[in-house]
Chain A
Amino acid sequence: MKVLVTVKEVAEVGDDFAIEGTGIAESDLEYDLNEWDDYAVEAGVQLAEADVADEVVAVTIGPERSEETIRMALAKGADRAVRVWDDALTEEFLDVAGKVSLLEAVVAEEEPDLVLSGVQAADDSFGATGVALADRIGFEHAAVVNDLEVAADAGVANVHRELEGGVEELTEVDLPAVLTVQTGLNEPRYASLRGIRQAQRKEIAAKELSDLGLSAEEVASALTLTEMYEPESESDAEMIEGDAGEAAGRLAEVLREKGVGA
């Protein structure tokens, strides 16, 4: 069985940052592997260690800089990686549909039995790529998976899904499938030193649009990023301190002031 794990390098900002046009100043950004994807990588590697998966391939969409991040996925145990980028992608905002087109082409080439994707990315938080990909490629899918068991022979994945209100759904998904992975599914490992060493010898195949048989028009975004701004806060949050008694007293006072419960 082959597992394809989608990973994304996400930008993180500290408390202070400057907005430049529709973006954030490059010097204020730090890049890291998307937290959700770290769990997806771990899930893939665990399947390989349990001999359920024969190969774990990591795929990312990003410029050359993002190889640092995808190399970490290799150090943690993915067998090889595919990085998709093209000069045509640098100018425009890449929306979910565009990403799905790129990933669809990679899926066509790799023919995985299982695609693992983080529930969402920590930067733009669309939370849509995995499910939209499943829809496009006609795979079964389950979103927000927090427990996973794959019975490869039977061709099914038994998953627990986290629903609103603390409800969990237990369900069976036929393979091939796309699962979006929630944090807490497992405990992502640290990269081992040998893993880091081995990562140097693993392949990161760079693919451009033409390699995937795509044109710039086919991945053009329907969305345009028009403005970046910090939302103004309309009210201040009050942090209630003190022990439970004091805190409860103050909370009751606030609620009374606001007219709650009269």
Chain B
Amino acid sequence: MVERDTVNLTDQQQLVRDAIRDICADFDAAYWREKDAQGEYPQEFVDALADGGWFGALLPEEHGGAGMGTDEVVVMLEEIAASGGGFSAAQAVHGAIYNSVPLVKYGSEELKADLLPEVARGETSIQAFGLTEPNAGSDSTSIQTSAELDGDEYVVNGQKIWISRVDASDYLVLMARTTPREEVEKRTRGLSMLLVDLEDAYEQGGLEIEKIDKTASNFVHSYELFFEDLRVPAENLIGEEGRGFYQMLDGLNEERLAIAAECVGLGEAAIEAGVSYANDREVFGGPIGANQAIQHPLAEAHAHVQAAKGMVYGAASDADDDADAKAVGARANMAKYLAAEAAFDAADAAVQTHGGFGVAREYDVERYFREARLTRLVPITQQLALNYIGENVLGLPRSY
């Protein structure tokens, strides 16, 4: 086993790590391989976490949650990915932890009292977040889905794309325009956050979904959503009307650190697989790992993965106390950028180490590689992360 406990952990982080390792030990590589091949959501794994109250990680204790913070969640998600579940296993549950955060911060007392204890107990899931649209990708303020107030209900019309885990969720946190872009002073205003009860939406006939056929993260499904006169009770508005964009940004940096941790875990899984094969596989009378052509790419990637890990953990331990959102944002974007690059290099080296077997399902590295490629695209592309660093950290002129 490659040593990967390279960061000093608090007592609580250690317990989180050990407990998650316990759970993940029951879901081996074959489990994830099969889920990926079948494109089947890992419900058993998700249930095991839900039963243990893990989706209440960030929820306050008065609502039945664990009242933990970013520093514990990064451990949890890194461990899930590193266990062999990869980026996809972490993504299968990522939304369950983060989509309730705006509800905690901005939701009405009624919504919170109704939903948060159920989420903390794992009985209700808020796994889906509806932002991206066909005509508005990273340019979020250009979204066209509208929600118009009619009496005591919002009427939603529009289309969303690349919305994940809709099939595994009871609720969708929906971003919609409540005031047209041309009528607001700033483009970041006029957006609102609505909590959509998915079962009710299907029953009304106000929402249709279509699964997107894709080749990475196969067991975490993504959808196109079509809203037609969907009626959402006005009390399901999260926070203030028109302030949805700002509410969404609040907490985004912490979530980005969690995604960076998922990349680190994926990189570690790839390094473990590569090193193990390099030690075992014998060609020309010795293990192929004796060759520096095999060693160096693995060593280089390992160094990058562990460097990214150091940055993720350092930023995570400061994130919740650090009042300066810009400083957290800078570190979160740099950490995510580095972690995704490192995971990609690690997966690539692991595939190359395996030679022709690198594309055989049974060695798992091809799955890691597909996922590593994805980490350079989501939740934002590497280029957008660089834009952020250029503009917000280095003070260079905005390019777009």
Contacts and interface: CB of A to CB of B under 8 A. Distances in A.
A is bound by B: yes
Given A192-B53, A193-B53, A193-B66, A71 B22 contact: no
A199 B61 CA distance: 14
A225 interface: no
B52 A190 contact: yes
A192 B120 CA distance: 11
Contact of A200 (B11, B52, B54): B11
A72 interface: yes
A197 B120 CA distance: 13
A200 B12 contact: yes
Nearest to A72: B18
A190 B51 CA distance: 10
User: What bracket does the count of chain A residues touching chain B fall in?
Assistant: 10 to 19
A194 B68 CA distance: 10
A196 interface: yes
A20 to B, nearest CB: 18
A191 B66 contact: no
Contacts of A71: 11, 14-15
User: What bracket does the count of chain B residues touching chain A fall in?
Assistant: 20 to 34
B19 A197 contact: no
A196 B68 CA distance: 10
A193 B52 contact: yes
Interface in A164-216: 190-194, 196-197, 199-200
Contacts of A193: 16, 19, 52-54, 56-57, 66, 68
B67 A197 contact: yes
A194 B19 contact: no
Query: By CB atoms of chain B within 10 A, which of A194, A196, A199, A200 has the most?
Result: A196
A191 B12 CA distance: 12
A75 interface: yes
A68 interface: yes
Contacts of A68: 11, 14-15, 18
Interface in B7-27: 11-12, 14-16, 18-19, 22-23
A242 interface: no
A21 interface: no
Q: 9 tightest CB-CB pairs across the interface, nearest first?
A: A191-B19, A192-B52, A193-B53, A193-B66, A196-B15, A197-B66, A192-B53, A193-B54, A194-B53
